[in-house]
Copies of this chain bind each other. A is one copy, B any other.
């Protein structure tokens, strides 16, 4: 018997014979068949949604990620429910509210805190994937959540090591914070480790923090602070491509030509940083793969043939013109 026949019966439509009507209703009575099915449909209709919380509105790397994530969620047959929040907003609370409001089946966080505790995350009742970050400073058990990210410490180490091997000894660093239990701290530690391994001293005068912020105006100001200290440096490592673009601008505006007077290296690999002059040398985060794998992990869990996993992807160097041998 077709679904539409059953539907016609249960909606009391006239175009069904009495015999068919009786048969349908007898099944309903004996099996609870139809409402069961409707209820299932209802549950499915509301619960095929995946929440995506994007923390940091101006983050161009997240814009790239989002396109892949949107496409993959769609291909998987799910709805995407999207929220943009400020870079200092509470993604867990946003996710938890969204989960209840939209009856989500899973969550993807694009950006978030690195120091969750299990009790904080108990607000979230569905599987979730931290995309582009992990709980490096927190106390979550590995099997309680999923993450897809590069090894931030290693990427920063490689960027700084590249500068050192080209002869740079005085390497400035521009970062949101050196001690905020986030990607900043991980990459800052990578910077410090590279200096240490190559026997170079750390000089706090070569560092500027942008107050937790990756935005271009704050990065521009941070670079100016270092320049205006009058300390000697031949290279700058910044935590992101947009920070590097702003830093290059500050250097040029202060009469320091990149790369002749100062080399600049970053981490991200945005399309636009390929078209600034000089082309930014940077470590590429594989945005496409990162988005695809994040959705895959989540869908595998939702479809019952996967469990929480932690994927570390490899960052690769994009050679530009912003770095030179000295």
A-side residues, CB < 8 A to B, are 6-7, 9-12, 25, 28-29, 31-32, 34-36, 38-39, 41-42, 45-46, 57-58, 60, 63, 67, 70-71, 74, 79-84, 102, 216, 220, 242, 245-246, 248-249, 252-253, 271-272, 274-277, 279
Contact = CB atoms under 8 A, between A and B. Distances in A.
Contacts of A275: 216, 220, 242, 245-246, 248-249
Given A6-B35, A70-B82, A249-B275, 12 more contacts: A28-B35, A38-B42, A45-B45, A45-B46, A60-B272, A70-B84, A71-B84, A74-B83, A80-B82, A242-B275, A248-B275, A252-B277
A318 B71 CA distance: 35
A29 B25 contact: yes
Given A67-B84, A272-B216, A274-B216, A28 B31 contact: no
B274 A277 contact: no
B58 A35 contact: no
Contact of A38 (B34, B249, B252, B279): B34
Contact of A81 (B25, B34, B36, B79): B79
Contacts of A60: 60, 63, 272
Given A70-B84, A245-B276, A277-B252, A10 B39 contact: yes
Contacts of A246: 275
Nearest to A215: B271
A93 to B, nearest CB: 15
Contacts of A57: 67
Contacts of A6: 35
Contacts of A84: 67, 70-71
Contacts of A276: 245, 249, 276-277
A254 to B, nearest CB: 12
Contacts of A58: 271
A225 B70 CA distance: 36
